[in-house]
Every structure is written in C-alpha cells, then in structure tokens.
C-alpha cells in the first residue's frame, strides 16, 4: 500500500492518520517532491477507474494559467500536464494491490483498507 501524500493538506493528513490507526504498513510518497511518472499516473487512474480530468485540481492557480478547464479531453495530454505539475493531482490517493482510491473521506479510506 502506498499513499500519495501532501502533509500540508488536511484531507491527506487525515487519511494518513486513518492508515496509522488501522496499523497497516504503507509507503508514504510525497508526490509533490517525487512526482509520478506518466506510466504510474496512468496505472493509478486505471486503478481508480477515472480519467485524469476526473481527479484534477482545477482551482489551482497553475490549472487556471494552463487553461486546464478548456483542454481537450485527451488522456495522454492530461497525464503529461499533471506529471509536469503534480499539484494538479487530487490528494490523497491510496494505492493498493487491487487498485487505488482518492481517499478524501473516511469511507474512501475504509474502501482502500477493505481491499487488503
């Protein structure tokens, strides 16, 4: 299990605390410092069952600068933009052997834990 974590984000801290409380082993990936590759992000999106535009943080200043809301829905292009600007990736994401989940609430974290 791996958590794509931003320690400055309250939702990310809450998900990490829930994993700690559950006593599961996981790797913490501070994805802003260690961005995913395009292949990793593509695999995680597949695991979530989502397209990049479904998990993009469109209110980030860089999203507005890039005109992301108006960008054609081309999966490869969006992944490229998100890898180059990891702040655009919704957080936290919990990656398990069976897939991944955007873990912004307790129910999502439980879903990730249930997949173990």
**Quick one: what percent of the chain has pLDDT higher than 90?**
87
- Using DSSP's 3-state secondary structure scheme, residue 10 falls into helix
Cis preceding linkage at 92, omega within 30: yes
Catalytic residues: 9
Alpha-carbon span 5 to 8, nearest angstrom: 9
Of residues 38, 66, 68, 39, the one with CA closest to residue 56: 68
DSSP 15-54: HHHHHHHHT---EEE-TTTSPPPHHHHHHHHHHHT--GGG
User: What CATH number does residue 8 fall under?
Assistant: 3.40.30.10
- Show the domain range for 98: 2-114
Total structural domains in the chain?
1
pLDDT digits (tens, 9 = 90+) for 38-63: 999 999 999 999 999 999 999 999 99
pLDDT digits (tens, 9 = 90+) for 61-89: 999 999 999 999 999 999 999 999 999 99
Record the pTM. 0.92
């Amino acid at each position: 299990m791996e958590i794509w974590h931003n320690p400055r984000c309250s939702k990310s801290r809450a998900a990490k605390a829930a994993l700690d409380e559950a006593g599961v082993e996981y790797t913490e990936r501070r994805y802003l410092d260690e961005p995913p590759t395009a292949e990793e992000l593509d695999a995680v999106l597949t695991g979530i069952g989502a397209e990049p535009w479904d998990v993009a943080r469109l209110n980030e200043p860089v999203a507005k600068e890039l005109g992301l809301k108006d960008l054609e829905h081309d999966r490869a292009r969006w992944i490229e933009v998100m890898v180059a600007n990891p702040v655009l990736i919704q957080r936290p994401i919990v990656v398990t052997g069976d897939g991944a989940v955007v873990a912004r609430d307790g129910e999502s974290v439980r879903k990730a834990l249930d997949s173990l």
